[in-house]
Structure 1
């Protein structure tokens, strides 16, 4: 695309038009079968002039497509399958791998998107999610089982995103967008603050059953459990989703926000699990956030 095409796209963008539709028509024009080079130039010029005259991408695209069909045949929307595929998105994937990007959290309720994406800048200290999350940019749109301060999401200096459970009562799980493997960030806790896994282990010991060194967490995600120690998330989900887990040291205690809500007031060291766009973040078993990425400029 020459300077004229670039300037046209900038003008359309300034007019709050959908530049992606303009690009799509040009891409189908280039990839469509059955046109000569002269016909391609003619249709492209028709699109360019129509967009300039109307400042409306949809009207311009509709006119250019109609013109192409009536004069040169219906080939504009017929793109050979060989021209589609990973090559179209590879540049964006490469940019995502080598650039810091904003992370968007989209709440999903019963398969429906609820509200807009909540964007987190990689240069910020991150956000908290919880029923009583009061900070700038924090997310409080959650279900009734979510704790007051449930989870912390942030980006490290290397551009990797992490989620940390803040001692919630009903636990946090990450579902891999690659293979749907589940990684338990923190299991649910009972009213006394012990993990469900600990309670199960204690019950089994009382009944005389032998308990092994591992306890199954949510949906088969495996967590190593030592007697008297906290349950740590495993970096490998049920289907082998590998994630980095890092230790987090906090300089300040996390105070309970309500007398009847469990948050470990002496929490000094916790663990965070790496997350990626395409994953799902599930809080308290029923509050789901889909994770999406904002492409870097």
Structure 2
């Protein structure tokens, strides 16, 4: 059933990078929810695999000494959804990954695999873009940390150097303090479906809740990679939250997003729902932040 040339099991990050260096043709396998399906379909037939599934150090959610939120790359979606720190600091990430596949997929699928696939439809990706997430990469030359926007290079391609593995997703304290968010996924089915479009909106209100001090919005399937929408962000930053402003915010995203036509949806439809998602997402994020929409 599975045409696999060789499978190596790493017990540590150091062993994984050594195996990848010794076998440059090898691919990483974690939960296997994507890799095994692709091997079975013949798209990766004859693959050499390095399994990192046994590296427990890459699991779990924690705060470092600077109170940056660290999510190990092998942390599965179910653990993220129910983790106390996630629910306290960035619950919208748990809500987003809880919309991936079904329970079986969420129990084995990892946040590292979801982001390393490089696909624009990944439910975690647009949410992480909206949180200004960073990606920790470990390889033969040590550790490097990239903004997630720099990690995605093109459709299906990420900035992993030879011998490197992704070891963590990091949300800096400055990126989450005072922010509240909302994620919307539109799919043709209510469950077990890839996003037709996904939209994540974060807001930080002033102390008196009358001003949008900062807004971040990101999309999946609005371009070849997940993307932020700077035109809409700049339009509302520093403004009083009103229903008219939320409507203008939705219209402004059309300046930056560039979805494609596909069998799932046309470009015109994706633009339409992208506009609606932005308006509704901003309103819901404002409400979660304790604000109201003024007339």
Normalization by structure 1: what TM-score? 0.28
Normalization by structure 2: what TM-score? 0.28
Bigger proportion of residues as helix: 2
